[in-house]
Amino acid sequence: MVVIGGGSAGYAAANKAQSKGAKVAIVDKGPLGGLCILRGCMPTKTILRSSDILALIHRAKEFGLSAPNPSADLSLINDRKNRLIDEFASYRIEQLNDPKFTLIEENASFLSPHELKVGERVLSAKNFIIATGSKIAEFPVPGLAESGFLTSDGVLELRQTPESMIILGAGPVAVELAQFFCRIGTQTTLIQRSDYILSKGDVDLAVPLETRFREEGMKVYTGTKLLRVEKSEYNRTVFFTHEGEEKSATAKIILQALGRKPNIDELNLSAASVKTNKGRIEVDEEMRTNVPHIYAVGDVNGLYEIVHIAIEQGEIAAHNATQKDIRRFDKRLKMSVIFTEPPVASVGLSEKECELLNIPYLAASYSFNDHGKSLCMGETHGHVKLLCSPENGEIIGAHIVGPEAGEMIHQMVTLMHYRGTVHDLIKLPHYHPTLSEIFTYPAEELVEKL
C-alpha cells in the first residue's frame, strides 16, 4: 500500500494497514508533522490557554482577588507554543521514520491508476490511500490580495500583539483566533457573511458566544456582504454591507479565515481517473473513491476537517483495503468542539439537520445561569440542549455552549454510543455540585414531554 500524506489521517491509515500485514510506503513532501500538530489544533489550543488565563486574571476582582496590570507577551506565548509543537512534531516524525514503513519525503502525483510518481521514482501498489489534507482557500474579494492579509498560518508566527485586526469569517478557526487576539489586547473586528457565527450549527449555540465576544470588546458584524478592501500607508480598510448600509472597518492586519479546500492540485488525479466534485475527492462510506483500490481520507475528502474523524477514516480505509469484511464510517456520533470561551460542543444531530432531513425530534435546553456549579465558577454564559426521538426517548443530539463543553460532551457521546435514552440519563448518578449534572434538567423535561 502507498499512503500519500503522513498527517493524522495518513499516519493512522499506514499504522493500521501495517498492523494488518500490508507492506506500507508513506509519501510526504513535508514538512513532516501534519496540520494538526504544526499549524492547527495543537498550536492554537496552546496559545488559547494563555489568553484564557489572562482573561480570568482580568476578572480577579470579581473573585475577591487582586492582580494588578496583567498583560500578554506574544513572543513568550509563541515561544511556549513552539517548544510544545517541536516536541509533538518530533514524536510524529519518529513514528513516521519507524522502519516498519518506508518513508519517502517527496511530492506524489499519479501517472496512472496503479502508478505514482514520487520524485524521480515510480511506485506501484495494490492500494493507494490519499491523505494530503487541505490548504487555505482563496476568496475573490476585490482588493484583498493586493492589500495583503495573513492566514491562520501567519498569525501563529507573530511576535508582537497587533494593534488592530479584522477577521474575515466566523468558522471554528476564525472565532478561536479572534477571541485569542481580542483577549491579548488587539482591537478586533469580526466580519461574517451568515446571519450568525459558527453558522453550520444551530443559532442558539452562537448567541451566547457572540454576546461574550461583544462583552469582551470585540466588534462582531454578521449578515454582511464583503465589497472590497483598500490599503493605505499603515492600515487596511474592509468595506461591506450590513443591515442595508455600506459600512467599513479599518485595522493594521486582516486575518483571512474564510475556509480551507482539499489539497489535490499536485496529485494529477485525472491520470488515475479519480473523480472530484467541487474540488473535493468524492468517497463513499467505505472511504473509497470511484476507483475501488484508491481511498481518500481526512481533510482531502472535504467532509469534516476534524482530526479524530480523519484518523477514523484512515483506519477504515486501511481496514477495507486489507481485510475481507467491510467497515463503514458512521456519522451518527459526529462531534465538534470549538475552543472559545464559552466553548461550543456538539454530538449527533442539530435541530437544523433534523428540520432539513425531516427527522422528528423533541428538544429541551437548560441555562448555565441557573445552575449551581456554573454560578459558583462564575461561568454563566450558555446552555445545554438535548434532542431525543419522540418515539422512545433515544438521545439523537446533544449540544453545549458553556463551561468545559469540550470535556462535558463526552458524557453524551458515551450515552449515545450505547443508544441511551433520556430515561437512562435521569437514572444515572450525577455528583453534586458538578457541571455535568446540568444535563439531568433538560432530560427530566423531555421525559415529561414524552
Residues lying near ligand FAD in the complex (CB under 6 A): 4-10, 27-30, 34-36, 39-41, 44-45, 107-108, 131-133, 152, 173, 263, 266-267, 298-300, 305-307, 310, 339
To ligand FAD, the closest distance from the beta carbon of 289 in angstroms equals: 15
To ligand FAD, the closest distance from the beta carbon of 104 in angstroms equals: 9
CB closer to ligand FAD, 262 vs 403: 262
CB closer to ligand FAD, 170 vs 425: 170
Alpha-carbon distance 227 to 241, whole Å?
Answer: 7
To ligand FAD, the closest distance from the beta carbon of 388 in angstroms equals: 26
To ligand FAD, the closest distance from the beta carbon of 323 in angstroms equals: 22
Angle 232-137-296 from CA coordinates, rounded to 5°: 165
CB closer to ligand FAD, 106 vs 394: 106
Phi, psi of 331 (to 5 degrees): -90, 5
Alpha-carbon distance 446 to 450, whole Å?
Answer: 6
To ligand FAD, the closest distance from the beta carbon of 96 in angstroms equals: 9
The b/e string for 398-428 (b: 16+ C-beta within 10 A; e otherwise) is bbbbbbbbbebbebbeebbeeebbbeebeee
Task: Assess contact for 359 and 351: CB atoms under 8 A.
Answer: no
To ligand FAD, the closest distance from the beta carbon of 125 in angstroms equals: 14
To ligand FAD, the closest distance from the beta carbon of 34 in angstroms equals: 3
To ligand FAD, the closest distance from the beta carbon of 139 in angstroms equals: 16
85: nearest Cα among 27, 34, 139: 34
> Is the peptide bond preceding residue 433 cis, with omega within 30 degrees of 0?
yes
CB closer to ligand FAD, 296 vs 398: 296
To ligand FAD, the closest distance from the beta carbon of 274 in angstroms equals: 13
**DSSP string over 337-353:** EE-SSS-EEEEE--HHH
CB closer to ligand FAD, 363 vs 404: 404
303: nearest Cα among 273, 277, 268, 274: 277
CB closer to ligand FAD, 27 vs 220: 27
To ligand FAD, the closest distance from the beta carbon of 28 in angstroms equals: 4
Cell of 137: 482557500
Return all residues near 426 (Cβ < 8 A) that are at least 6 apart: 440, 443, 444, 447
Alpha-carbon distance 329 to 183, whole Å?
Answer: 38
To ligand FAD, the closest distance from the beta carbon of 278 in angstroms equals: 18
Calculate Rg over the CA atoms of the chain: 23
Cell of 3: 499512503
Q: Which helix (H) or strand (E) holds 387?
A: strand 383-388
Task: Assess contact for 222 and 214: CB atoms under 8 A.
Answer: no
Task: Assess contact for 419 and 394: CB atoms under 8 A.
Answer: yes
The torsion of the CA quartet 37, 41, 42, 46, rounded to 10 degrees, works out to: 160
302: nearest Cα among 268, 273, 263: 263
CB closer to ligand FAD, 143 vs 154: 154
CB closer to ligand FAD, 26 vs 387: 26
CB closer to ligand FAD, 132 vs 189: 132
CB closer to ligand FAD, 299 vs 404: 299
Alpha-carbon distance 392 to 423, whole Å?
Answer: 9
SS3 annotation, 31-94: CCCHHHHHCCHHHHHHHHHHHHHHHHHHCHHHHCCCCCCCCCCHHHHHHHHHHHHHHHHHHHHH
CB closer to ligand FAD, 310 vs 443: 310
